[in-house]
């Protein structure tokens, strides 16, 4: 299947990944959709902003940008403005490995989230991933509904 350059389906799927992470908000920053944890951005879109390409810029752990750009410059790049701080650019107008992008988005979130947010009880259990919608369902598993209590008469019978 050819890459999507027109409909924005890649951005919709990216939005699901980002918005599914705990304490994440989405708002415009410099005219582009961006995702924040607290006050710090961890991902921002680049819709033909500096060239005719669709991409996402992600906060990245130290050293990740250099390794990924060197390994596959057709998919990864050093973004302007934030590349000098280690951020990673990922093209979305090529064949995208969505499992890999999900991991990169989670790494970006982890890179900027505070210790308090990262150590929340729900995160220690891990984030759920929904393959049905192609994105991250986010947050801890929903609370389980307790089994209905049986009355003493029903238990005795």
Asked whether the predicted pLDDT for residue 64 surpasses 60, the reply is yes
Find the mean pLDDT for residues 85-89. Answer: 93
Find the mean pLDDT for residues 57-62. Answer: 94
Round to whole Å and give the CA distance between 57 and 73: 14
Selection from 22, 100, 156, 155 nearest residue 88 by Cα:
100
Q: What's residue 133's pLDDT?
A: 33
Asked whether the predicted pLDDT for residue 94 surpasses 60, the reply is yes
Split at pLDDT 50, 70, 90, the class of 8 is: confident
pTM of this prediction exceeds 0.75 = no
CB distance 16 to 136 below 8 Å: yes
CA angle 7, 97, 134 (to 5 degrees): 65
pLDDT in tens, 9-29: 888 999 999 999 999 999 887
Round to whole Å and give the CA distance between 57 and 69: 13
Find the mean pLDDT for residues 87-102. Answer: 94
Selection from 81, 128, 130, 82 nearest residue 108 by Cα:
82
Round to whole Å and give the CA distance between 130 and 135: 6
């Amino acid at each position: 299947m050819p890459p999507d350059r027109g409909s924005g389906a890649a951005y919709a799927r990216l939005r699901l990944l980002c918005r599914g992470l705990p304490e994440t908000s989405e708002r415009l920053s410099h005219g582009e959709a961006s995702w924040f944890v607290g006050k710090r951005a961890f991902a921002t879109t680049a819709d033909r902003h500096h060239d005719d390409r669709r991409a996402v810029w992600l906060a990245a752990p130290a050293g990740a940008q250099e390794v990924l750009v060197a390994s596959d410059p057709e998919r990864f790049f050093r973004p302007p403005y934030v590349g000098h701080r280690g951020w990673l650019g990922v093209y979305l107008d090529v064949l995208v490995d969505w499992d890999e992008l999900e991991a990169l988005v989670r790494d970006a979130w982890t890179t900027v989230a505070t210790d308090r947010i990262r150590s929340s009880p729900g995160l220690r259990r891990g984030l759920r991933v929904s393959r049905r919608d192609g994105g991250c369902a986010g947050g801890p598993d929903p609370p389980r509904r307790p089994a209905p209590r049986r009355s003493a008469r029903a238990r005795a019978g």
